[in-house]
Chain A
């Protein structure tokens, strides 16, 4: 039982592993995730199936695939009568066997994320208690984050079981994702400073009145693998078709249209086939590039 990984395995600033995932392999992972529930056991299953891929990459892929799955079935689960039925089922079960992980079981049965189910149930609970006033988002979020704010202690326990065991949704996952995003932006800035590359970050750019801003704009452009890079966007996720296309349309092309060619770092890897817009100005990498060429200083190369 060595679930708590050795401390040396995850140290900030460590060289990033190379993650090559072709579309075929990505589909294989996708197929495997179709039947999985968002639990720690599922992650372990994935790791044994794809031992050559970093766990973080697998988790990111699984999480994105799972979210897509949830979005597809959202309508089904959110119909008022369905929600009511879930709540009733929970209520009746809670009377007969309160110690069992009731909400987790229900979530597994109906293939809904435990954290999302917990949210639906708490919502119903609040509606029931104060029928007239719709539960405010703020109160609801706080209760999911701090289950002991829920007046019904049994429900609180079941809700906590859901949020803690769900590895794709819930306040804890949001915390972790937020932290990961910031850490990688930070890592990017460190790497740039290490290489003596001067840059403007998002906040500086916004203050100048730019309408769309990548994470980093280099004051003096660099070249990576023969491609000019003006800007760098850090994405602490895996670049799959869906997310990449969304990003392309909402962010990357816009950056390209304003600042010229740039680099996107998908720290958890990407489907290698997606790196096909290099000549159009969007280069993909799964880590900070080591092959940076900078504009030579001084007239050393004057005689061509």
Chain B
């Protein structure tokens, strides 16, 4: 038991004793025994009678976070125990009595990471706010907390100081309870003043501090909180040594999840010294006070700067603005600031494609027509789900269950599972491929927002939305796998349908598609690698985008393949040992759905791990409890571990850093999610595997290309955003006194202004373009995109070769001429010529526009089928032209100046040394001559005839009668109508029928018909009449 007090490091290194590991292991499995409790009971025995401080109110809530990392209304508490809750420091006894210490068992400061699934601790925590006075001697005589004491209530303690009061107290400030209350009162009145609204004054803790309270009291602005001071750091040399050791563990991938360690370091950085060790405490702690913690953290950050510098801009900003970083290492702060600058960072449906969807693709008429219905039914479900799944109490099974099963059973009857599986898979990719905001499920409003704001503001708005919508609560860097957004619909659908035929077809389809994606070829830059991105002309950019799309699709499909494959074996709890063994024996016999080991090995050999590993990770994250114990998957996980251990950041030779970072991140995540068998990490390496992994056959592969950018990294690993949240929460709490870095968001409703119409026009054009491709065969889009990409690229090359060259030559001439003149300032001359060149360079955009409009249409025309309709062709041509122009112009406007400057610099040095869619207008049918087509509509005339008839037949009133003139006028109009082919179109027999009625009523003599409309004879009158007689 005392092991938990021992010198463990946060890193789970192989040196950690086995018993601790198993204990932690069981914790994650949801057992009730947690290290916290263990340490608590141990404490209770060792230091009987020591009073508990209540630490920081950490025990204020034992609320369990949701099973999928959902955030409870109190915010996230890391109850339930986890790795991080082990004591970290405390190695030697004796610490200065007044030392401000950290309580690593304080769940507020050091919430256990990855513990989201654990059930609440047995102790029912209290949440009282009301302070009750305790014995007066206490505050001065004895410190209220010791480092190791648990914030959870000690049964042995006499009446405890209430948590919230304790939270306000810090060791160094021996306030009496009276003073405390005074403080609270002041805080309260301050808050009351801040909120002008009288309604808001009632609760003590009101809205402005809400986010703060999510984090617990640790971030509450506390004037008494000790300011970390580099001069107060004790045991510097030991800390340096520890930091170095720790960093080595991180650098050598000796920790199961690099980002988990980084998270811990940031937790240290943002910790608040609260606990105070009792005088006579027998253990000294290296990280026992906030000064030491921050010192250690900053040392590690300095050491791991390269890793840190690859985080997103916002995290870097928060870090560089963190006052503690500044105080402890101004050079780190500067580096961070620099790194920050370098940092760059509706239901759409599956169209009917005759080629795959028409009758000839079905075995029978019946199957074709059944599928016709299924398609509509499926979209009906999707719409219903979108409408109502967020309503409280809505349940997929209850609302759609029986209908889903009925639909699936009809599929079975008709045998059209494969068709539906294909539709399902395509729809899944279409709706879920894009980045999904973790924990949020609405990616739908984009269209409207884009219309309102324009494309550039959309990104900003999305981030804003994320901040507003997303709970600020931390979910830690290793949340369990989830199905965000629309993925949930597809998951629920499969669960509800529970149709083995459908699942089999889907598995087939997913496997095939995955392996196809895994083989996708992505080309490196064609030029020599020495010149880097400049030679790329944006080619590389294109490849990066393509890779990102492929990777995201593969990850999505792999997740669903895993989901379907392991669905039959899912159990809510880890089965008992006996059942495990039986299941392992049983399941080892059948072959797995996908040979992940072979795919992995091949990807290593061919250096394609950057594509393969991330999707394999998604697939394996869906494993059931037994899955990882099967020899097959165990081997796969071992392989991944080997890959991880060898993926040393920044030391991969040709491997790109961001590529490595992505792999380290996804692998680290996999190793931390609940299904991963922890013992695996410490098992000895099977030597053959290692050997095999070294057998790289390919000299070049995806792994050596810079394919991962920060956006892709954060899309694949949304949990990396947790760093930002942690730092932001710290800012919210601690620096409000220094002006406050927290950015308050005041929502105001924007008025639609003039420019928005042009923006919405732009957006509409983009939509129209997408819509155009939608119902065309996919090859059209590929062709257009390909041609646009090539023409754009060629255009840039052409301009470089011609325009730039000419300009620079002209510049050289000017320079030579000017140098001959007297009193020339060469520096000034250089600058002015350079400026001239840059101005002239802007004409490149015009040239590019011309180049693209001349070359793009022809290229597309040649590549599209000859049978393409003219309007489709014209549209495709103009889109291609536009895309190519955009591509070329955007590259040129961003780079032409740099390019010219560079070319000019070397030249200077040298000199000193020496469409409308066409329409297929129908020819128009033959009317009588001079026909203007402005004749009465047939239906109108017919209605009139009918009315005349009804009056004629009666019964009628006295006033109802027609004059001869009226009848003649009607007949004249009938004549006009009949004379115009265009108007009467097909139903001419109907008129003749009515006219016949008129004749029969005796209202017309047949001779009259003959005289009034000689044109009638031109019609097929006799035969029509004949048909009536």
Task: Tell me which of A1, A146, A182, A220 contacts B985 (CB under 8 A).
Answer: A182
Distance of B484 from chain A, by nearest CB (Å):
22
**Alpha-carbon separation in the docked complex, A259 to B853 (Å):** 30
A164 touches B953 (CB 8 A): yes
B775 touches A217 (CB 8 A): yes
Known: A4-B948, A302-B889. A210 touches B934 (CB 8 A): no
B349 touches A209 (CB 8 A): no
Q: Which of B828-875 contact A (CB under 8 A)?
A: 845, 849, 852-853, 869-872, 874-875
When distances are taken between beta carbons in the complex, the residues of chain A under 8 Å from B943 are 176
Distance of B335 from chain A, by nearest CB (Å):
37
Q: Which of B59-67, B512-520, B913-921 contacts A (4 or more CB under 8 A)?
A: B913-921
A220-249 to B contact mask, C-beta < 8 Å, 1/0 = 111100101010000000000000000000
A223 touches B875 (CB 8 A): no
A221 touches B771 (CB 8 A): yes
Distance of B357 from chain A, by nearest CB (Å):
7
Does any Cβ of A come within 8 Å of B160's Cβ?
A: no
Does any Cβ of A come within 8 Å of B765's Cβ?
A: yes
When distances are taken between beta carbons in the complex, the residues of chain A under 8 Å from B918 are 198
B768 touches A226 (CB 8 A): no
B691-724 to A contact mask, C-beta < 8 Å, 1/0 = 0000000000000000000000000000000000
A165 touches B953 (CB 8 A): yes
**Alpha-carbon separation in the docked complex, A268 to B28 (Å):** 66
B933 touches A13 (CB 8 A): yes
When distances are taken between beta carbons in the complex, the residues of chain B under 8 Å from A299 are 849, 852-853, 878, 881-882, 885
How many residues belonging to A are interface residues under a CB distance threshold of 8 Å?
A: 70
A280 touches B383 (CB 8 A): yes
B860-904 to A contact mask, C-beta < 8 Å, 1/0 = 000000000111101100110110011001000000000000000
B765 touches A301 (CB 8 A): yes
**Alpha-carbon separation in the docked complex, A237 to B372 (Å):** 27
B801-843 to A contact mask, C-beta < 8 Å, 1/0 = 0000000000000000000000000000000000000000000
B379 touches A253 (CB 8 A): yes
When distances are taken between beta carbons in the complex, the residues of chain B under 8 Å from A304 are 455, 762, 886
Does any Cβ of A come within 8 Å of B402's Cβ?
A: no
- A5, A197, A208, A298, most chain B CB atoms within 10 A: A298
Task: Tell me which of A172, A198, A210 contacts B917 (CB under 8 A).
Answer: A198
**Alpha-carbon separation in the docked complex, A160 to B383 (Å):** 50
B768 touches A223 (CB 8 A): yes
A211 touches B869 (CB 8 A): no
A177-219 to B contact mask, C-beta < 8 Å, 1/0 = 0111011001000000100111000000000111110000101
Known: A183-B939, A254-B376, A257-B376. A297 touches B917 (CB 8 A): yes
When distances are taken between beta carbons in the complex, the residues of chain B under 8 Å from A186 are 982-983, 985
A297 touches B874 (CB 8 A): yes
Does any Cβ of A come within 8 Å of B940's Cβ?
A: yes
When distances are taken between beta carbons in the complex, the residues of chain B under 8 Å from A145 are 993
B935 touches A193 (CB 8 A): no
How many residues belonging to B are interface residues under a CB distance threshold of 8 Å?
A: 98
**Alpha-carbon separation in the docked complex, A271 to B949 (Å):** 33
When distances are taken between beta carbons in the complex, the residues of chain A under 8 Å from B376 are 253-254, 257
- B368, B765, B961, most chain A CB atoms within 10 A: B765
A223 touches B946 (CB 8 A): no
Does any Cβ of B come within 8 Å of A7's Cβ?
A: yes
A226 touches B881 (CB 8 A): no
Known: A10-B936, A101-B954. A298 touches B915 (CB 8 A): yes
Known: A1-B960, A164-B950, A295-B875. A7 touches B771 (CB 8 A): no
A160 touches B953 (CB 8 A): yes
B372 touches A211 (CB 8 A): yes
Does any Cβ of A come within 8 Å of B1020's Cβ?
A: no
B768 touches A222 (CB 8 A): yes
Q: Which of B213-221, B740-748, B965-973 contacts A (4 or more CB under 8 A)?
A: B965-973
Q: Which residue of A is nearest B372, CB measured?
A: A211
When distances are taken between beta carbons in the complex, the residues of chain A under 8 Å from B874 are 297
When distances are taken between beta carbons in the complex, the residues of chain B under 8 Å from A3 are 944, 947, 951, 960, 962
Task: Tell me which of A7, A165, A183 contacts B969 (CB under 8 A).
Answer: A7
B920 touches A146 (CB 8 A): no
B936 touches A7 (CB 8 A): yes
B768 touches A293 (CB 8 A): yes
B917 touches A221 (CB 8 A): no
A297 touches B352 (CB 8 A): no
Does any Cβ of B come within 8 Å of A260's Cβ?
A: yes
A228 touches B767 (CB 8 A): yes
Task: Tell me which of B875, B970, B987 contacts A179 (CB under 8 A).
Answer: B987
**Alpha-carbon separation in the docked complex, A209 to B359 (Å):** 7
**Alpha-carbon separation in the docked complex, A281 to B775 (Å):** 14
**Alpha-carbon separation in the docked complex, A299 to B908 (Å):** 37
When distances are taken between beta carbons in the complex, the residues of chain B under 8 Å from A219 are 869, 871-872, 917
**Alpha-carbon separation in the docked complex, A301 to B951 (Å):** 62
Known: A197-B919, A280-B347. A228 touches B768 (CB 8 A): yes
B771 touches A230 (CB 8 A): yes
When distances are taken between beta carbons in the complex, the residues of chain B under 8 Å from A146 are 1028
Does any Cβ of A come within 8 Å of B346's Cβ?
A: yes
**Alpha-carbon separation in the docked complex, A297 to B937 (Å):** 36
Does any Cβ of B come within 8 Å of A24's Cβ?
A: no
**Alpha-carbon separation in the docked complex, A294 to B769 (Å):** 10
Task: Tell me which of B760, B872, B946 contacts A176 (CB under 8 A).
Answer: B946
Does any Cβ of A come within 8 Å of B375's Cβ?
A: yes
When distances are taken between beta carbons in the complex, the residues of chain B under 8 Å from A178 are 987, 990
When distances are taken between beta carbons in the complex, the residues of chain B under 8 Å from A294 are 768, 917
B878 touches A297 (CB 8 A): yes
B775 touches A230 (CB 8 A): yes
Distance of B361 from chain A, by nearest CB (Å):
9
Known: A220-B872, A259-B775, A260-B771. A297 touches B987 (CB 8 A): no
Does any Cβ of B come within 8 Å of A40's Cβ?
A: yes
- B760, B769, B950, B982, most chain A CB atoms within 10 A: B950
Q: Which of B323-363 contact A (CB under 8 A)?
A: 346-349, 351-352, 354, 357-360
Distance of B453 from chain A, by nearest CB (Å):
14
A172 touches B768 (CB 8 A): no
Q: Which residue of A is nearest B348, CB measured?
A: A260
Q: Which of A232-287 contact B (CB under 8 A)?
A: 253-254, 256-261, 279-281
Task: Tell me which of A193, A223, A256, A279 contacts B921 (CB under 8 A).
Answer: A193
Task: Tell me which of B762, B849, B951, B983 contacts A12 (CB under 8 A).
Answer: B983
Q: Which residue of A is nearest B358, CB measured?
A: A209
- B935, B953, B960, most chain A CB atoms within 10 A: B953
B961 touches A1 (CB 8 A): yes
Does any Cβ of A come within 8 Å of B1003's Cβ?
A: no
Distance of B877 from chain A, by nearest CB (Å):
9
When distances are taken between beta carbons in the complex, the residues of chain B under 8 Å from A165 are 950, 953
Q: Which residue of A is nearest B943, CB measured?
A: A176
**Alpha-carbon separation in the docked complex, A284 to B376 (Å):** 20
Distance of A296 from chain B, by nearest CB (Å):
6
When distances are taken between beta carbons in the complex, the residues of chain A under 8 Å from B882 are 298-299, 301-302
Known: A7-B969, A101-B954, A165-B953. A198 touches B871 (CB 8 A): yes
Does any Cβ of A come within 8 Å of B1000's Cβ?
A: yes
Known: A164-B953, A254-B376. A10 touches B762 (CB 8 A): no
**Alpha-carbon separation in the docked complex, A293 to B760 (Å):** 12
Q: Which residue of A is nearest B371, CB measured?
A: A211
Does any Cβ of B come within 8 Å of A11's Cβ?
A: yes
When distances are taken between beta carbons in the complex, the residues of chain B under 8 Å from A5 are 940, 944
Does any Cβ of B come within 8 Å of A79's Cβ?
A: no
Does any Cβ of B come within 8 Å of A133's Cβ?
A: no
Does any Cβ of A come within 8 Å of B959's Cβ?
A: yes
* 5 nearest A-B residue pairs (beta carbon): A209-B358, A297-B915, A258-B352, A10-B940, A198-B871
6 more A-B residue pairs beyond the given contacts A12-B935, A210-B352, with a C-beta to C-beta distance below 8 A: A175-B993, A209-B360, A220-B872, A223-B768, A259-B775, A298-B878
| Sample (14) of A-B pairs whose CB atoms are under 8 Å apart | A4-B962, A11-B935, A12-B936, A164-B949, A182-B986, A209-B358, A220-B772, A220-B875, A253-B379, A281-B347, A293-B768, A296-B765, A298-B853, A298-B878
